[in-house]
């Protein structure tokens, strides 16, 4: 088992390392002081789970692995002479105990070069061998990958973001006026959305198994703290985009909770139209972004996000152990 952290020094070192890694990221990120403060809170929460037995008990209850005690679900701090100190925890893809992986959350010195990554992967594999994970996950700036062989890595998801002020200045896409888009004031569209989503999911192959539809509670949160816009075609509901107020470790603003187009609008570059309408109605507090995560296999959604001015801030990479 990894040791519990001692004092505030480790928190400071890990925060500084992540901040340095993210700093060249560009406009969507928070200014330096605010970014460092938010990163510090994010790392602090991760470190608190090294000893949070209640959190580990809940995790164990939802993802019970035969033979693994509740204490094994705690985050762990891995120390080694002349090596970076690592903060990591076990995770399960989609909550499936048959798909365990190790989440590398933070480290206190740069991990640079293929040899350093090979040692890091070996340390994590040994530390979490009670779950028999075959891969780890790490967040890395932009679309560049850690220095690991191509065959040993793959994208899990992208974090894309753009400042609202910048997105509002962009040229409106073709067809902007030809699509009827209205702001929703309630979740009365939810059943139509759910039926359309299930139809798409049944024919979407592997991607359909990776994503889930937003639920009614998510729609309510969007209506309360963000906005929901719906597209119509032929007098019928045909698409939706929704965002709720939320912060991520290096950005703040509104997180996209759902972007979905039904068959009449799909493949016709209508997603940018929905985004522009959504951006127009979101309240901007000065440094707010529109951000969200996109699954690594969802190329159409990534293209739509990039086309409308958002950029890849970070990528979650799966690395083989």
Q: Are 157 and 296 in contact (CB under 8 A)?
A: yes
Bridge partners, 146 (sequence order): none
Q: How far apart are CA 131 and CA 123, in angstroms?
A: 14
* CA dihedral (268, 308, 174, 257) positive or negative: positive
> Which pLDDT tens digit goes with each residue over 70-118?
999 999 999 998 899 999 999 999 899 999 999 999 999 999 999 999 9
Task: Provide the whole-model pTM.
Answer: 0.89
Measured distance CA(97)–CA(65) in Å, rounded: 6
The closest alpha carbon to 240, from 175, 185, 190, 290, belongs to: 190
Residue 27's pLDDT band, with cuts at 50, 70 and 90, is confident
Could you give the 3-state DSSP secondary structure of residue 133? Answer: coil
pLDDT at 272 exceeding the cut of 90:
no
Distance CA 225, CA 223 (A): 6
Length of the chain: 321
Domains and CATH numbers, the chain: 9-133 (no CATH), 162-314 (3.40.630.30)
């Amino acid at each position: 088992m990894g040791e519990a952290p001692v004092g505030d020094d480790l928190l400071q070192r890990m925060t500084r390392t992540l901040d340095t890694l993210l700093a060249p990221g560009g406009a969507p990120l928070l200014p330096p002081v605010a970014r460092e403060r938010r990163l510090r809170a994010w790392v602090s929460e991760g470190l608190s789970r090294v000893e949070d037995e209640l959190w580990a008990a809940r995790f164990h209850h939802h993802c019970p692995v035969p033979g693994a005690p509740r204490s094994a679900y705690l985050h762990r701090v891995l120390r080694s002479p002349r090596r970076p100190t690592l903060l990591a925890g076990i995770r399960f893809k989609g909550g499936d105990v048959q798909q365990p992986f190790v989440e590398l959350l933070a480290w206190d010195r740069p991990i640079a070069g293929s040899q350093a990554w090979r040692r890091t992967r070996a340390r994590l594999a040994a530390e979490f061998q009670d779950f028999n994970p075959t891969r780890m996950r790490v967040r890395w700036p932009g679309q560049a990958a850690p220095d690991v062989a191509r065959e040993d890595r793959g994208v899990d998801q992208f974090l894309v973001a753009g400042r609202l002020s910048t997105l509002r200045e962009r040229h409106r896409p073709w067809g902007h006026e030809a699509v009827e888009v209205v702001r929703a004031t309630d979740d009365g569209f939810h059943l139509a959305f759910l039926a359309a989503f299930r139809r798409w999911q049944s024919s979407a192959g592997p991607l359909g198994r990776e994503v889930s539809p937003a639920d009614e509670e998510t729609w309510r949160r969007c209506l309360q703290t963000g906005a929901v816009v719906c597209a119509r075609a032929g007098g019928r509901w045909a698409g939706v985009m929704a965002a709720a107020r939320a912060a991520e470790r290096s950005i703040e603003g509104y997180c996209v909770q759902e972007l979905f187009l039904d068959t009449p609008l799909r493949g016709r570059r209508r997603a940018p139209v929905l985004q522009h309408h959504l951006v127009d109605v979101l309240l901007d507090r000065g440094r707010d972004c529109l951000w969200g995560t996109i699954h690594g296999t969802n190329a159409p959604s990534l293209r739509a996000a990039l086309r409308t001015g958002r950029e890849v801030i970070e990528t979650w990479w799966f690395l083989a152990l």
